[in-house]
A and B are shown apart, each in its own frame.
Chain A
Amino acid sequence: MSAPVETLRSDGTDAQALPVAMAEARILGLPASIWPRILAPIVIGVIVLALWEFAVRWNDIPHYVLPGPILVGQTLIADWGTLSGSLWVTLKITFMALAAAVVVGVTLAVLFSQSKWLEMALLPYAVILQVTPIVAIAPLIIIWANDIDLSLLICAWIVAFFPILSNTILGLNSADHNLVNLFELYGASRWQTLRYLKLPAALPYFLAGLKISGGLALIGAVVAEFVAGTGGSASGLAYRILEAGYQLKIPRVFAALVMISLSGIAIFLATSLISYLLLRRWHESAIRREN
């Protein structure tokens, strides 16, 4: 540093050695080292799709048994109007369930961290909710909720909320014990300890839970739709799959499956991005290593 520092030096490290962004070669605006990670899966995907198309044509497999990827793509475009509406229905359930899972999971975790009694009393029931197969209780929920959208939401929420609860509990209890002592020394209130120490310490754990729950919310929504069957007025992708299956419109089944998969991938990428953006300055998981 240019300003003279009285009596003291910065030891160990050269004072000029502030973290510097390494200049890396860039291709099309992205760092060169990223491209293999993008290209390798694409190449594999193209090869597999080509083999699939080739196998279907070579063996003359009828399209109601196994459609080729080109036909699936054509169906996706042709049926986009119907399918995109259904996609929207499913995604709406998914995101509402995920939001509810975050709110309930984090709230319960915070309450549990404040009161061991509450945790002892309630955690077993959260576990029961988690281990009960959703397919088995979905019909009951549909009967009790008496509203198809609400029951789908409840089912997807049950599947999605436990990873968030469990991870956040672990994170809240993982705050450095010496830091807890330090907060105690300075007479920090419960609220201050929670706000400035426990919640930040729990953030990486919560985000790991969020990544899992994002995928689970989608699975929960789709499974619940399957169980609910044709009961709904506005119908999601699972309903379209059932319907198309009955009518032997197998290309449409595949098109709907592709949409579900792409949605899952998009949710995973989104939660990963959120996680990276929140942790990149400080957490080990988000730091790229040189050695």
Chain B
Amino acid sequence: MDTAYLSTPPGNQSAGTPLVAIRQVSKRFANGTLAVRDVDLELGAGQFISLLGPSGCGKSTLLRMIAGLGAPSSGTIAWPGETGAAQGSAGRGARDLGFVFQDPTLMPWANALANVMLPLKLKGVARAESEARAAEMLALVGLKGFETSYPRELSGGMKMRVSIARALVMRPKILLMDEPFAALDEITRHRLNDDLLALWERERFTAVFVTHSVFESVYLSQRIVVMAARPGRVMADLSVDAAYPRDELFRTSGEYARLCRVASTTLKEAIGR
């Protein structure tokens, strides 16, 4: 394995206190399925991390547990940087995070601006201020001029942009994404990948990106957590040492191809071919 570019880091690779510390987390569903088993993971502040694995490997379940949607059956998910008040179970909804679902999950009765304003409205931010912040966020995802468009009037990629704008409008510390671009065509997906990286380099939130695409995970992330199914567990933790900004040049480079090959091999080993 070419450790100069793609290496297995010794344990936690983030310097200082991690943003999220996942300790021995397992999740068993009511029907008895063990979705996630004994996951240990630390998410460093400002990192771009991909959870890569085949379907059924529990990566979405893990992501939802990080978000606070469904508690682990055992183990803990701690936010070391937070004060005691937000630490307990009463802290639901108090987490400083954004979430992007696989579907855009927009309210069809509200226009783009109102959809992006939703988190601010729920937090009781004054209307004038939240309108300004939502409009700014829409411009940042490239949808300036589409404020009054309804979701049905937008293309799939544009709907996903609105969804990302909504997730980022509170300027969260961490953005959780659950296969957000899986349903999009390749051209749109590449553009959104580029734009997501540009946003990340600008805002420097922690990004956790669930995907089953080796190419997508290598292109986007600094770190790839490889998972295997039945039961869902972490098999490898790779770091991708290519420099940012990454662009079309990187996507067509030999280095990218080699990184993909290594990641692909690791994934195949992890899931036992």
Residues of A within 8 A of B (CB): 1, 3, 5-13, 15, 18-19, 176, 178-179, 181-188, 192, 196-197, 200-201, 203, 281-284, 287
A11 near B119 with CB under 8 A, answer: no
**Docked-complex contact A185 and B108, CB < 8 angstroms:** no
In the complex, B15 has a CB within 8 A of chain A: no
State the interface size on chain B (CB cutoff 8 A): 49
Q: Which chain A residue shows the least CB distance to B153?
A: A19
B107 to chain A, nearest CB (A): 7
* Contact partners of A10 in chain B: CB under 8 A: 142-143, 146, 158, 161
Check if A185 sits within 8 Å of B95, measured CB to CB.
yes
Across the interface, do A282 and B105 meet the contact criterion of CB distance under 8 Å?
Answer: no
Indicate if the CB atoms of A11 and B155 lie closer than 8 Å: yes
The verdict on A200 contacting B109 (CB below 8 Å), with A10-B158, A185-B95, A187-B92 known, is: yes
Please determine whether B195 and A8 come into contact, CB atoms closer than 8 angstroms.
Answer: yes
Binds A, one of B96-104, B224-232, B235-243, B251-259: B96-104
Q: With A12-B157, A183-B122, A185-B68 as known contacts, state yes or no: A6 contacts B140, CB within 8 Å.
A: yes
Q: B198 within 8 Å of A by Cβ? A: yes
B255, chain A: closest CB distance, angstroms: 24
- Interface pair B123/A186, CB less than 8 Å apart: yes
Q: Are A12 and B140 in contact (CB under 8 A)?
A: no
Contacts of A19 in B (CB 8 A): 149, 153
5 pairs from A and B in contact (CB 8 Å cutoff): A1-B145, A13-B155, A181-B69, A185-B67, A188-B93
**CB of A59 to closest CB in B, whole Å:** 57
The residue from A3, A197, A282 contacting B144, defined by CB atoms under 8 A apart: A3
* Minimum CB–CB distance for A15 against chain B, Å: 7
Query: What CA separation (Å) do A7 and B195 show in the bound complex?
Result: 7
Contact present for B188 and A12 (CB under 8 Å): yes
Take A10-B142, A10-B158, A176-B105 as given contacts and tell me if A184 and B93 are in contact as well, using a CB distance cutoff of 8 Å.
Answer: yes
Please tell me which one of the listed residues A7, A184, A196 contacts residue B69 in the complex, with CB atoms under 8 A apart: A184
Given contacts A7-B195, A196-B118, A287-B152, contact A187 B94 (CB under 8 A): yes
Bound CA–CA A19/B146 (angstroms)? 10
Alpha-carbon distance A15/B158, docked complex (angstroms): 11
Which B residues from 116 to 157 make CB contacts under 8 A with A? 118-119, 121-123, 139-146, 149-157
**Cβ-closest chain B residue relative to A2:** B145
For residue A11, which residues in chain B have a CB less than 8 angstroms away from its CB? 142, 155, 157-158, 161, 187-188, 191-192
Q: Could you tell me if A186 and B119 are in contact, using CB atoms closer than 8 angstroms?
A: yes
Which residues of chain B are near A1, meaning CB under 8 Å? 144-145
B108 to chain A, nearest CB (A): 5
Q: A11-B187, A181-B99 are in contact. List 14 more A-B contacts (CB 8 A).
A: A6-B140, A8-B198, A9-B191, A11-B142, A11-B191, A12-B157, A13-B155, A179-B105, A185-B68, A187-B94, A197-B107, A282-B108, A282-B151, A283-B108
Tell me, in angstroms, the Cα distance from A3 to B143 when the chains sit together.
Answer: 11
B65 to chain A minimum Cβ distance, whole angstroms, is 12
Q: Could you tell me if B109 and A178 are in contact, using CB atoms closer than 8 angstroms?
A: no
Which A residues touch B198, using CB under 8 A?
7-8
Closest residue of A by beta carbon distance from B145: A1
Q: Could you tell me the distance in whole angstroms from the C-beta of B165 to the nearest C-beta in chain A? A: 11
Most buried by B among A183, A185, A203, A283: A185
Cβ-defined contact, B153 with A186, below 8 A: no
Q: Please give the distance in Å from A41's CB to the nearest CB on chain B.
A: 31
Q: Is the CB–CB distance between A185 and B145 below 8 Å?
A: no
A176 to B146, CA, bound (A): 23
